C-alpha cells in the first residue's frame, strides 16, 4: 500500500468516526476552537473535551429541542454552542454552558430586560 492509499484510508476512517460519534467530534472541535479563541483574546482557559462532553445535554436547556451535532453552527439554530456565562472570566470550569445557536444568538444580541420586554408585549398581544 502506497502513501496515497494510506492517507485515503485514514481520511475515510476519520470520516466514519465523525459520523458515528458526532457529539464527541463536536466536543473535541469545540475544545480546540475555544482554546484558540481564549489564547487570541488573552482570557483564561482550563476546559477539556471530556468536561465539555460532560456538561453537554442532549437538548437545548433554553428551548428544549434536541441538539444537532455537526453541520454549520451559523446556519443551524439547533446546533450546540459553548457559551461563557461571564465573558471576562473566560472559558473555565463552571463558567460555561452548552446552549443552542439560537439561544446564544439571542443572549449575545439582547439584554435579559430586552427579551423580557418583548415577551411581555407578545403576551399582551395574545401571541
| Domain ranges within the chain, ordered by starting residue | 3-124
pLDDT score, position 85: 93
- Rounded Cα distance between 105 and 96, Å, is 15
Assign 89 to helix, strand or coil: coil
Angle at the Cα of 39 (from 38 to 42), degrees rounded to 5? 80
What's the DSSP call for residue 85? Answer: S
- Antiparallel, parallel or unpaired: β 80-84 and 96-100: antiparallel
Beta strands in the chain (DSSP E): 80-84, 96-100
Continuous segment of H or E residues that includes residue 40: helix 22-41
Using CA of residue 104, residue 105, residue 110, residue 116, what is the dihedral sign? Answer: negative
The third-level CATH classification (topology) of the domain covering 3-124 is Herpes Virus-1 (3.30.40)
Assign 70 to helix, strand or coil: coil
pLDDT score, position 17: 65
Give residue 22's Cα distance to chain centre: 12
pLDDT score, position 97: 97
What band does 15 get if pLDDT is binned at 50, 70 and 90? low
Question: b/e for 94-108, b at 16 or more Cβ within 10 A?
Answer: ebbbbbbbbbbebbe
Question: Could you report the per-residue pLDDT of 68-113, keeping only the tens digit for each?
Answer: 886 655 558 888 999 999 989 999 999 999 999 899 999 989 999 9
Judge if pTM exceeds 0.85. Answer: no
| Contact assessment for residue 55 and residue 98, using Cβ atoms and an 8 Å cutoff | yes
Amino acid at each position: 500500500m502506497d502513501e496515497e492509499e494510506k492517507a485515503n484510508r485514514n481520511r475515510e476512517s476519520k470520516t466514519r468516526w465523525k459520523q458515528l460519534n458526532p457529539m464527541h467530534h463536536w466536543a473535541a472541535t469545540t475544545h480546540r476552537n475555544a482554546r484558540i479563541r481564549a489564547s487570541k483574546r488573552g482570557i483564561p482557559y482550563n476546559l477539556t473535551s471530556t468536561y465539555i462532553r460532560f456538561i453537554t445535554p442532549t437538548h437545548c436547556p433554553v428551548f428544549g429541542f434536541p441538539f444537532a451535532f455537526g453541520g454549520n453552527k451559523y446556519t443551524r439554530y439547533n446546533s450546540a454552542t459553548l457559551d461563557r456565562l461571564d465573558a471576562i472570566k473566560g472559558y473555565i470550569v463552571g463558567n460555561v454552558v452548552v446552549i443552542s445557536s439560537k439561544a446564544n444568538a439571542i443572549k449575545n444580541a439582547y439584554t435579559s430586560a430586552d427579551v423580557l420586554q418583548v415577551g411581555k408585549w407578545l403576551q399582551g398581544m395574545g401571541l
